[in-house]
């Protein structure tokens, strides 16, 4: 991990992590020392659910008698720890995840965790793959189909590279059993600005400026670039982690095929099952790592 010079161990100023409501003091840092894997999901409920699964799978703790403790109370994000794994919520969209990434990475750094892996486990809208398939992101694209993440510090646009870790992806794929009940593909992702117009939908509140024919053209370009899903956080995650030299990737299940429509038609139960696919891929990987 390579972190900005401001993060000097001896200085340790800027002690309060507002977004996590945590202070960088020894008592707090001790709670996080020894973490290696950081799993991020959108909602606090999903983060807690994964913590339960991690405890049951790796520590043999019966979740009937165990409630994971949120280590970041009264904050915008939820943070659970199980062994050397953190299960964290990141909210929705690039602006939410990038704020978490700054705070969390400072926390990891001062807790002396320098050998980290960050994995977003999520949902997405699939492009030409059957719902329930899982996509491992290779490169994250902006909606204008530039592989990069644009930010505008001091009003000046800068674009940073958004390549996820190829080595981490290879390890994740190698850890999957042959008899997975769903497909898993490595491909590219578009991090959209929102769920509706940003993902070329027709079911938002505002009438789009595009029509079906223009959308078809856009979708064809996506296919040519091997873009397999739409979601909302991959460019911020990939660029932050590439700059900080933290291996990172995204494991996202597709919960519909956007070639067939905009609306989610799957039942709540099927959607919950789909979400478990991306968690299962992560659990298979973590199990293989912990066995080594
Ligand atoms: C996938 O699902 C969410 C939108 O429903 C968003 O966080 C994402 O990337
Ligand atoms: N998440 C998204 O961002 N888009 C979808 O279509 C589904 C989940």
Q: If you take atom 8 of ligand 2, which residue's CA is the nearest one?
A: 124
Quote the pLDDT of residue 5. 44
For residue 138 and ligand 1, the question of a CB distance below 6 A is answered with: no
Tens digits of per-residue pLDDT, 263-273?
999 999 999 99
The best mutation among 88, 121, 123 to test binding of ligand 1, ranked by most ligand atoms within 8 Å of the C-beta, falls on 123
Q: How far is the CA of 93 from the centre of ligand 1 (A)?
A: 7
Mean pLDDT, to the nearest integer, of 163-185? 98
Which residue from 32, 16, 50 is spatially nearest to 114, judged by alpha carbons?
A: 32
Tens digits of per-residue pLDDT, 101-118?
999 999 999 999 999 999
Atom of ligand 2 nearest to the CA of 192: 3
Other CB atoms within a 10 A radius of the CB of residue 97 amount to: 26
> Which residues have C-beta within 8 Å of that of residue 117, sequence separation ≥ 6?
36, 37, 38, 165, 168, 246, 247, 248
Which residue from 52, 48, 135, 140 is spatially nearest to 98, judged by alpha carbons?
A: 140
- What is the pTM assigned to this prediction? 0.96
Which tokens belong to 34?
Answer: 């020894």
Burial of 74 (0-12, 13-18, 19+ CB in 10 A): exposed
pLDDT at 288 over 60: yes
pLDDT at 221 over 90: yes
79-82 and 184-191: which strand pairing? Answer: unpaired
pLDDT at 157 over 90: yes
Query: Quick one: pLDDT band at residue 59, thresholds 50, 70, 90?
Result: confident
Q: Which residue ranges have their beta carbon within 6 Å of ligand 2?
A: 123-125, 195, 199, 230-232, 255-256
Query: Quick one: pLDDT band at residue 231, thresholds 50, 70, 90?
Result: very high
Atom of ligand 1 nearest to the CA of 234: 9
Q: If you take atom 1 of ligand 2, which residue's CA is the nearest one?
A: 124
Which ligand approaches the C-alpha of residue 254 most closely?
2
Atom of ligand 2 nearest to the CA of 201: 6
Give the Cα separation of 57 and 213 in Å (integer).
Answer: 48
Burial of 11 (0-12, 13-18, 19+ CB in 10 A): exposed
- Eight-class DSSP state of 148: S
């Amino acid at each position: 991990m390579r972190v900005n010079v401001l993060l000097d161990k001896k200085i340790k100023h800027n002690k309060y992590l507002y977004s996590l409501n945590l202070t960088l003091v020894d008592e707090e840092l001790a709670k996080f020392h020894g973490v290696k894997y950081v799993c991020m999901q959108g909602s606090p409920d999903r983060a807690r659910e994964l913590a339960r699964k991690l405890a049951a799978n790796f520590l043999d703790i019966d979740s009937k008698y165990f409630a994971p403790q949120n280590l970041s109370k009264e904050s915008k994000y939820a943070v659970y720890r199980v062994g050397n794994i953190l299960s964290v919520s990141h909210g929705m969209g690039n602006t939410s995840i990038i704020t978490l990434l700054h705070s969390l990475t400072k926390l990891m750094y001062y807790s002396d965790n320098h050998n980290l892996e960050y994995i977003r486990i999520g949902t997405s809208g699939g492009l030409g793959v059957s719902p329930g398939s899982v996509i491992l992101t290779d490169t994250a694209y902006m909606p204008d189909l530039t592989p990069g993440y644009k930010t505008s510090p001091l009003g000046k646009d800068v674009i940073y590279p958004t390549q996820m870790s190829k080595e981490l992806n290879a390890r994740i794929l190698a850890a999957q059993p042959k008899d997975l009940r769903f497909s898993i593909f490595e491909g590219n992702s578009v991090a959209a600005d929102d769920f509706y117009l940003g993902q070329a939908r027709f079911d938002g509140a505002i009438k789009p400026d595009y029509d079906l024919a223009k959308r078809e053209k856009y979708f064809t370009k996506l296919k040519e670039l091997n873009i397999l899903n739409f979601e909302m956080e991959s460019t911020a995650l990939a660029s932050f982690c590439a700059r900080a030299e933290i291996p990172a990737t995204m494991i996202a299940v597709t919960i519909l095929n956007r070639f067939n429509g905009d609306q989610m038609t799957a039942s709540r139960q099927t959607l919950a099952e789909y979400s478990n696919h991306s968690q299962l891929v992560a659990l298979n990987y973590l199990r293989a790592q912990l066995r080594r």
